[in-house]
Each structure stands twice: as structure tokens, then as C-alpha cells.
Structure 1
Amino acid sequence: MQQILASLGIQTLNDMQKAAIAAGKTAQDVILLSDTGSGKTLAFLLPVLERLQPGVAATQALVITPTRELAQQIEKVFRAMRTGFKVTSCYGGHLRETEENALKEAPALIIGTPGRLGDHIRRGSINTAGIHTLVMDEFDKSFELGFREEIAFVVESLPAVSKRMLTSATEAAEIPDFIRLQQPVTLNFLSGEAPPALSIKTLQSPEKDKADTLFRLICMLGNRSTIVFCNHRDAVERTAGLLQDKGITSVFYHGAMEQADRDVALCKFRNGTANLLVTTDLASRGLDIPNIRYIIHYHLPQNEETFIHRNGRTARMDASGTAIIITGPEEALPPYIPDNAETITLPETATLPDKPQWSTLYISAGKKDKVNKVDIVGFFSNKGKLKKEDLGLVEVKDYIAFAAVRKTKVSQVLQLIKNEKVKNKKVRIEVVK
């Protein structure tokens, strides 16, 4: 346990995580309710790990998640635990052939979205006979997104499950009978309150179209990491476009985008190439991006649950954050907004925030090409003559990679590396637009 915590950079478990581990040892089935950002991923992965047997050439545990981003995040945490067990994630937008190759030698743990898991089971890519542990993370969201039939198929395809764990950050709706819970123990760690480090503020727009108010607000906040939530996909693209036209660097993100475009948008937001992400509620779960300072509710959330999940992207694990609700002249604040929420008054003049200092470089090689993060860092350091402070976040995918490079160094780097190879492989390297 101490080795795992050290690998994750954590000193000790919190009370919720300790309770989940204890319940995992004694109860057949567990329902875990805990606030967003409280560490639920580790709270279910540790009990799963305790049940995994080394030397078993079969899949032993399955985690079902509502979104591909959440699947990616869980896989990232499990890999960081350095357990020695093989893990694979399966989700829409990911090459099925890549997943099928990874599944040929059965992983001990599979993480995936309902539709893609069902597809693999039907094709015989996943052998479910040895799966004894089932986790459904954010299970309420899975049902809400219309995955009920696929989840039912997946669950009914698991003949040997003897332990189930369901997690959520909100009081859940009714759990369907097909989940087959057996006298579940419920651990309710929901505080019912905003995190103590979360400040909630309101802003009145004088016009029904709140775009100018949003622009002036962002100018006031500066270039801190900010997520702007809209209720519809077309509004996301329109809002991001209006901000770009006014000189605000931003990226947008929603469910109708191709997976590659979603990866690029999130990468640029994570590494500081863009400090503003305009998105739908797709980003309200599964994104664990550190140091997000502001959440802006450009459109009012549909309900209190959505409000909670949006705000959960900031003020995580004791960090501070601010949620700002913008209302138009005909909109009233929802009843769940605190009466003492501070009202923001915008300055009379708007000054554009400083531009981000980073650019993102695309590299046409990844994990499947035997290229890892150390290789890329070494390449840019040795061949590109980059100093440590001029190379930012490096992310390596299956067949591609991204690296953040200080803007002032990009032209020089591209000139130095144009004829160089990464691990004896000729690759294409260019600036991501």
C-alpha cells in the first residue's frame, strides 16, 4: 500500500477511501456516494486490486464508465499505481483493432464504456468467464445517457461476478434489478455542500446575449485556467468562435467531435497552449485536470446535480476555485445558489489577458511505435537543444504524441530537428493549429 501511495504522490488515504477498502473486504456489494474530486477512483481501484490474483491468464475485473475520458482517467491512475497487472481501456472513438490486439493477452482489468464493451463481448474479444469483480463508476450518469440496454447486456454476460461496487457523486436514482445487487452496503460521504475551497459568485448580464459579458469577465479574470459550460454543442462552437474573434485564445470540446479533435483540445488545455475550454456537460465528469481556477456557467445548469458536477472540475483535493453563474435579464438564479453568493461588478474597460506562452507540437509516433515520454523529452533536449523550462507537458497516445514547447523556442526547435529521427524512426513533427 505504501508503495502504491508513493507512486501516486499521496501520503495517506482519506476517510472515504479507508471506508471503501474496509467495505470491500466484508460486503459483497457496495454503493459509494462521495463528492466529486474526493478520490473515488482510488477508493474503488484499491479494493479491485486486493481481489486480483497474480499469474491468472484471464480478465478478473471490469470497470464500466459513462465516458471515454473517464475510462482514460481511470486507466491512467491504475497504471500510475504500478501494480504489475495488465490493464486495457475500451471506448468509442478508439481504434477497435488496437483494442482487439491489446485484448488477445487477457488483461487482469478492463475499463470501458458500455457500447464498446458490449461490442467486444459480442465479437468474442473479451472472455467474461473469469470476471469476478464489477465496478460501475458514475453509474447514475451511465443510465442518464441512455446506456441502460448496453449495460444490461454487459452485466448479464458476466456469469462469475461475486462482488459489485457502484459509485456516484450524487444521490442516485433507482438501481435496476439487472445489476443484481445482493444486500449492498451504502457508504454515503456526500457533504451536500460546496467544497470549503469553492467560492460561488454571480454576474448579471445586461443583455439576453451574454457573449459580451462573458468576454469582459474573462478579461477581468486574466489567463488563469478556466472552463466555460454551455448547454448545447452549437452554442459551444459559437461561443468559442466569438471569443476567438475578440482575441481570446480558447479551445472547444463536445461529444460530436472526432476523437482526435477531442484529444487535441484537451491536450492544449492541459498543457497551457489554451487556458480557456468552452464545453458542454460532457466535460463535467471524468476530466481530472489539475489547477482549474474558474468554472463559468455561461448557460444555467439544467439542475442542481449538473451544477455540482460542473463545479467539481475545480477546488479538487483541497485546491481553491471559483464558480461564476452568469444570468441574463430574464433569468432568475436557481434556488440552490447560496443567498450569500458574491455579486461581481465588471470593470468599465476590458483589457485582453496575456496570450499563453506555450505551443503544442504534434509527433507522428506513439506507444505502439515503442516511443515513450522519456524518448520524446530526450529527443527535444538533445536534438532540439531545449532547456528543461522550455519543454512543458508531454502526452503519448497509441500512435501519436504531443509536446508543449515555449512559443519563443518553436521556430528554432523545428529547424534543429527537421532531419532528425526519434528512436531511429522518421517522424512528422509540426505545430498543432
Structure 2
Amino acid sequence: MAGKALKRKLSSKSNGPQKSGLKKAKKTVALDNLAWKSVDVADGGLDDFEGFYGLEEVDGVSVEVENGTLKFKAAESKEDTENEEKEKAPTNGSAKNKASEKVAPYVSPFAEEEEDDYEDSDSEENQGEEEEEEGESEIDESKESKNKTAKGAENKKKSSGLVSLKTPGNPFDLLEETESEVSAELDWSLPDTTLSSSILTALSALKFYKPTDIQAQVIPEILTDSDVIGKAATGSGKTLAYGIPIIEKHIRLSESIKPAKKWPTALIFGPTRELVHQITKHLEQVWKYGNFTGSGVVAITGGLAIQKQRRLIDNNPAIIVATPGRFLEILTEATSEFRDQFKKCETLVLDEADRLIQEGHFQELEKILDLIGRGRRTRRQTLVFSATFQRDLMKKLDSKRTSSNAGRQASNAGALKILNEKLEFKDKNPVFIDSNPAESVARSVVESIMECGAMEKDLYLYYFLLTYPARSIVFVNSIDTVKRLVPFLKELGLPSLGLHSDMIQKQRLRSLERFKANDKSILVATDVAARGLDIPLIDHVVHYHLPRTADMYIHRSGRTARAGNEGVSLLLCSPDEASGPLIKLKRALYKDNATNKTAMKTFEVEYDFLNRLKPRITLAKQISDTVNQSTHKGKTDAWLKKAVEDLGVDLSDDEIENITGDRRKKNKPEQPKGDLRSLRAQLQSELQRPVGHAGKYLTRGTVNLAQMVTSGKSHQAFLGKEQTSALESLNTKPKSKK
């Protein structure tokens, strides 16, 4: 740890030959005021960049010990360097404004393509978490972000440091090269509400020409300083529904409060790290167009260096987006003066609030509210948003209890009562806006179900993903299933990635960036990815396991069909699930019997093709299971040996085998490497052959295979099958072939 900290903080180098003139006398400079410079880490230079992102260095600094205290001696401080740059900067109107370039928008450093190293173990991940706490810097903010954004349309266009996600169809990419002109198509006429020109310019650049339903209803209420509870379907624009009025509010406060305010305008809490970083990214895109004071939007999450995050907060950001756990950690270690600044915060936002206030999740948020005060005492505005609030939807589907229509009708009132008790709104009656009264999956999501045996889900999953290659998320209920499915699908030649809560933050972000970069990629994830993630153009959501609660089904399905697009939600359902949990899921989602019976379409399967995929599945399982077993054994042995060495205990190989349980597994022969190569060769041979119908003749029956192949309409993987999308297949309903 000490070596890592030394690399990061005390990289002192000689200045080399001195320039002509008098040599400046060195003076004592505070650590954070040294003229730190970012260090670029070359791509491919390291197999593992853990702890090296955000590496900084400083020139001409000597470290001296005075009275037992380290002192940093430098000829120039950060302020001196900035003053010199200002003096050297051109003064004409066409010159770049350096202050503008120092506002660092939210970006991820993991967008580069690397060789996938998805082999994570508990010991490696835990060690990675500790190293990140010590050495890895905040990935998205520059330490100099406290400078004001420069005025002028040219600087709005040239704000430096923004990295495009390069994702097809992502409207936020349009901000890279946009003119600061407001489009004639823009129509954000809201009742008794006028938005600033900076926000209108951003909305025009984003091509958000009209507000969504939730935005049109919520924004005027927030700008009148009312407490608001907003319920809207997933993908309906909830983030900007509260983000736009918060930025507008900050503009007005900055103009009215003199001298400039030293506390954030808004605190926004989200249940997961991924959601927090996404919210930050979206708000940054709007923020860059404004002539604002403060350092912008800051993300505070676990898995990243807490020291750098504390420094970012010290830079007086306008908006802080955080997970409750990390923010509470910072608050409890801080001074009372530091905590007092958050008591002045004008707005508190809970995104995906139903998760934040659930039993077992609310303790951290409750402690934060105890420290900074609730709305009733501080007169702070409180905003609460989610797609679901009904308590019935949060009940476990395997529970024996059933819900009644009366219970559903009273559910909203009960949810409001619970929110008021826990959050203590400043308003006696918060404004409740419900743009999703049915509280179900968005209308643009086509729900479907594929019936299969409990032990055949791998086969049916592969059949679906191979038949309809597109960007897809496969949701599972356990981390072990993620670790099993990812290598299994990779052996079958499918570009799959994993995402779960045991992964360190670097791995999570890298998986998301790679998923966005490939329009046919597959993300196998636990429910950590079910809430709030706004990844454009996700075509399919596959529920490998039935979700544990109905509200989780809604949030999972909401990852597709966003921003006006259509998408497919497919449920792989075994007979055991269909006999109980599925019935309860439908009863919770659909209030009338007619909808209950027709909401989920049956996904037809061509069994002739399906059966011909079985040899591939058998081989891929053998390979992936062998590799997983070998990897797990090696990591377990390495962990145990290290623990034994640390304790200074001498153990024989037999004793180690007894502890790890390997003695019980001795009778299970391991797959020789030669056999593994043979299995892979057999699998590759299977994968190279298109899957076709049984029969001798290419023109047999109703399918003219020869004509289909010559016309270019044949599926790449299935001979005699036309290439169609899952949406088209659901609409046409081809007859199944058994």
C-alpha cells in the first residue's frame, strides 16, 4: 500500500536544466495545492491498470521532515501555475478559455478495448477493493474542476475532456459537435415555467425537442419548490425530469446569492454504483452548456478512492450524486463544519426510491438524514422517483400470501404514508404525479414467454441468442450463474460479458463500456443491472430465472424499449415456475383477467433446429465446467497457502486437501489438457457447420432451401431459416415443428 501511495502522491522529479534568470526560492506548499499533472498510461503497457487510473505527478518538489512532520517544498504552487497561465493566455475573443478546459465532464477511463480478463475470485476482488480505496483516483473528475466554466458559445462547443461513448443511437453523443443554436423544432412550453437559454440550448443539442409526460408534469412543480413524488414507466425520462429543474434552480440561486454559495444545490441518491455514474453522465451533458459557477456534477460511489472523492467535494460541486454507503462513510469521518454544508443543501432526490426505502436498505440513508436533517426541519425540498411504489409488487413471488384488488388499490396511499414517515417531507401533502397508473411494463415492451424444462434453460437460451443476434441482457438470480454462463456462452462463440456485485468497480465499468460498444453483445447480469441503467438500443431482455418480485420484473424489462424504441422481454419458464410464481407474477402485474391471459405472448420454438443444437451445448458445458473447476481450485489453493504463510503455520499437503475438500474430490478425474483441446476442436467443428433441417433435398417440403440461400435471405446460423428479428417472430407467430 505504501508503494502504491508513493507512486501516486510523491512522484518527485528533477527539474533538469534551469532556465535563465533568478532561481525561485522554494516555499512550503500544502499537498493538495501542489501543481499536480495527470499522467497518461499508454494502452497495452500493463496487463492490469488497477490503481493507475488518475495517476498524477509533480515536478520540482522536495520532501523534508520538520519537527516530525512532512513538509513539501516547491518553487511554485498550483495557484502560481494557474496565474501564469492566465497571464500567458491570449485576450482576444477567439482564444480558448483555459478555465473552460479545466471543467472535466463525467467520463469513464475503461472505454478502451482490452483482452477480457473475466476471471474473478472472491479473494482477488476483495483485495482489489482495498487497493482502490488506497490508490485509485475518482475516474470522472479533474482535481482542478473548481474553476468556473468560461462564457461564450465557442467555449460551450470546445469544452475539453469529453469522451464520446461511441454508442449508436445515444443522444448524448450529439453533444460532441453541436452548435449552440436552439432548433426551431424545440417546444418546451411548460405552464408558468420559463427555462434558461443554457438549458434550452442543451435540450436542442440533445434533440429532446419536447418533454416526456413525466417531465411536463414534474418540472413546473419542482421549480415552485414543492415536494414531489413521481412515478413513471422505465425509460420515460425520469433523470432529466428532476435534473433539468435542479440545474435551473442552481442558475437562479447562483444569481441571487452573493458571494457565491459554498454548498451543493442538490444531493441525489441512487441504490447502485452503475445508476449513480449514469445519472452523473446525463447531468454533465446538460451542465456543459451552462454558464455556471461551481465544479459541476460529482459522483461519489464505493470502489473508488475515497481521498479523491473527498477532494472533489471540497471543490464545492453544484450537484452530488452518490450511493448511500460511500456518502455515509465520508460524512462519518468528516468534521462537523464539513457536515454543516450539506444541511444547507436546497434539494434532496431519491432515484429508484422503492429500493432505497426497502427494509434492509434504508439504514444507511436514515443515518445520512439524521446527520444532515430531514426536509421538515431544514425546509429542504425532497423529490422521490421510481417506476414502482406498490408494496404488493415488492413481495416475494414464492410467498404463500396473495394480494387482493383492494390491496392494490390502497397500495399507493400506503406507499405515500411510508415515504412521509421515513423522509418527513417539508410539505404536509407532497405533490404525487403518476404517469404510469397501471404500474406495469412500458407499452413499447413486447412481453413473451418460452416454456422449457428446468435443466434445458441453457439450450433454450442459446437457441434464442443464436437465432436473434442483437444487444441483449440476460438476468439471473445468483452470482454463481453469471460466472457459469459467461464462459459457457463464450465457448459457443457468443460475445458475452458479466456484471454482478462481487466485481470490483473497474470490472463493472469495463463490462458496461464493452457492452455498449458491440451491437450484438450479451450481458449476463444479476439484478444489480436491473435499475436505472440507460443503455441505448437494447433489443432483448431475457429472464433466465423468474425474478423474485414483480417490481424487479418491471425494472428488468425496462432496460429495453427505451427512448421510443421497441424491445422484447422473454421469460424462460420451467414447469415448476409456471405452476406457482408465474401465476403470482401475472396477478401482481395485470389487474384484469383478460390482460392476465394475453399480456405474455408464447414464443414459438422450431424444435427441429433446437434439437440439432444439443451436441454443441453438451461440448460447451464440458469445456466450461472443466475450466471453471480448475480455475476455482487454483484460486482456493493460492488463497489458503497465502493465509498459511501469513499466520506462520506449517501445514502438509494432506492437511491442505482436507481443509479445501479436495480429498473428497480425488476420485473425480480431472480433464487432461489434451482432452480439453480435443473437446474444443470438436466444438469448433460443430460451430462451423450451419444448422439445417433433416432431409436429403434442398427443395423439400414448403421450404426451398436452394432459393433461400441464393437469394441471400437465409439465416447465418440456420440453413433454411430466414433471418428475422424477435419482434417480427412474435408478431407473425410461425408454427412450431415438433
TM-score, with normalisation over the residues of structure 1? Answer: 0.76
Amino acid at match of 2:237: G
Count of aligned pairs between the two proteins: 351
Query: Following the alignment from structure 1 to structure 2, what is the Cα–Cα distance between the partners of residues 32 and 241?
Result: 41
Query: Following the alignment from structure 2 to structure 1, what is the Cα–Cα distance between the partners of residues 370 and 207?
Result: 38
Shift of 1:6: 1.8
Query: Following the alignment from structure 2 to structure 1, what is the Cα–Cα distance between the partners of residues 422 and 602?
Result: 47
Query: Following the alignment from structure 1 to structure 2, what is the Cα–Cα distance between the partners of residues 206 and 145?
Result: 34
Residue correspondence of structure 1 range 145-294 to structure 2 within 5 A:
146-159=360-373, 160-172=378-390, 173=415, 174-175=418-419, 177-181=421-425, 182-183=427-428, 184-192=430-438, 193-222=440-469, 224-272=470-518, 275-294=521-540
Match of 1:369 in 2: none
CA deviations on 1:336-389 (whole Å, 9 max, x unpaired) are 44422322233322689xxxxxxxxxxxxxxxxxxxxxxxxxxxxxxxxxxxxx
The verdict on how the C-alpha distance between 1:58 and 1:7 changes in structure 2, with shifts beyond 3 A counting, is farther
8 Å CA contact 1:285–1:310 kept in 2: the answer is yes
Shift of 1:331: 2.5
The verdict on how the C-alpha distance between 1:74 and 1:161 changes in structure 2, with shifts beyond 3 A counting, is farther
Bigger fraction of residues in helix:
2
Match of 2:248 in 1: 50
Shift of 1:176: 5.8
Match of 2:304 in 1: 94
Match of 2:319 in 1: 109
Which range moved further: 44-53 or 180-189?
Answer: 44-53
CA deviations on 1:80-119 (whole Å, 9 max, x unpaired) are 0023351111011121122122112111111101111111
Amino acid at match of 1:310: R
Match of 1:140 in 2: 354
Shift of 1:35: 0.9
3-state DSSP class of the match of 1:175?
helix
Amino acid at match of 1:108: A
- Runs of at least 5 residues in structure 1 that lack an aligned partner in the other structure: 353-433
Which range moved further: 96-105 or 251-260?
Answer: 96-105
Q: Does 1:346 align with 2:551?
A: no
Q: Does 1:68 align with 2:312?
A: no
Superposed CA RMSD in Å reads 2.1
Which range moved further: 154-163 or 60-69?
Answer: 154-163
CA deviations on 1:1-45 (whole Å, 9 max, x unpaired) are 421312433111123212111211335311111111100101111
TM-score, with normalisation over the residues of structure 2? Answer: 0.46
- Which of 334, 342, 364 lines up with 1:128 in the alignment? 342
Which range moved further: 159-168 or 118-127?
Answer: 118-127
Query: Following the alignment from structure 1 to structure 2, what is the Cα–Cα distance between the partners of residues 309 and 154?
Result: 26
Query: Following the alignment from structure 1 to structure 2, what is the Cα–Cα distance between the partners of residues 250 and 283?
Result: 15
8 Å CA contact 2:233–2:441 kept in 1: the answer is no
3-state DSSP class of the match of 2:541?
strand
With CA pairs under 8 Å and 6+ residues apart, which has the higher RCO, 1 or 2? Answer: 1
The verdict on how the C-alpha distance between 1:274 and 1:14 changes in structure 2, with shifts beyond 3 A counting, is closer
Q: Does 1:35 align with 2:295?
A: no
Shift of 1:239: 1.8
8 Å CA contact 2:328–2:367 kept in 1: the answer is yes
The verdict on how the C-alpha distance between 1:207 and 1:232 changes in structure 2, with shifts beyond 3 A counting, is closer
Query: Following the alignment from structure 1 to structure 2, what is the Cα–Cα distance between the partners of residues 67 and 161?
Result: 27
8 Å CA contact 2:246–2:265 kept in 1: the answer is no
3-state DSSP class of the match of 1:45?
helix
Shift of 1:274: 6.2
Query: Following the alignment from structure 2 to structure 1, what is the Cα–Cα distance between the partners of residues 379 and 308?
Result: 27
Which range moved further: 61-70 or 237-246?
Answer: 237-246
8 Å CA contact 2:498–2:525 kept in 1: the answer is yes
Query: Following the alignment from structure 1 to structure 2, what is the Cα–Cα distance between the partners of residues 324 and 147?
Result: 29
Q: Percent identity?
A: 29
The verdict on how the C-alpha distance between 1:65 and 1:206 changes in structure 2, with shifts beyond 3 A counting, is closer
Query: Following the alignment from structure 1 to structure 2, what is the Cα–Cα distance between the partners of residues 178 and 298?
Result: 35
3-state DSSP class of the match of 1:32?
strand
Match of 1:296 in 2: 542
Shift of 1:296: 0.5
Which range moved further: 199-208 or 211-220?
Answer: 199-208
Match of 1:11 in 2: 209
Match of 1:380 in 2: none
8 Å CA contact 1:250–1:277 kept in 2: the answer is yes
8 Å CA contact 2:223–2:249 kept in 1: the answer is no
Shift of 1:276: 0.3
8 Å CA contact 1:114–1:150 kept in 2: the answer is yes
Shift of 1:155: 1.5
Shift of 1:273: 7.8
The verdict on how the C-alpha distance between 1:274 and 1:255 changes in structure 2, with shifts beyond 3 A counting, is farther
- Runs of at least 5 residues in structure 2 that lack an aligned partner in the other structure: 1-198, 255-259, 391-414, 587-595, 617-738
Shift of 1:243: 1.6
Structure ID, larger Rg: 2
Bigger fraction of residues in strand:
1
8 Å CA contact 1:156–1:178 kept in 2: the answer is no
Query: Following the alignment from structure 2 to structure 1, what is the Cα–Cα distance between the partners of residues 306 and 487?
Result: 33
The verdict on how the C-alpha distance between 1:145 and 1:77 changes in structure 2, with shifts beyond 3 A counting, is farther
Amino acid at match of 2:311: N
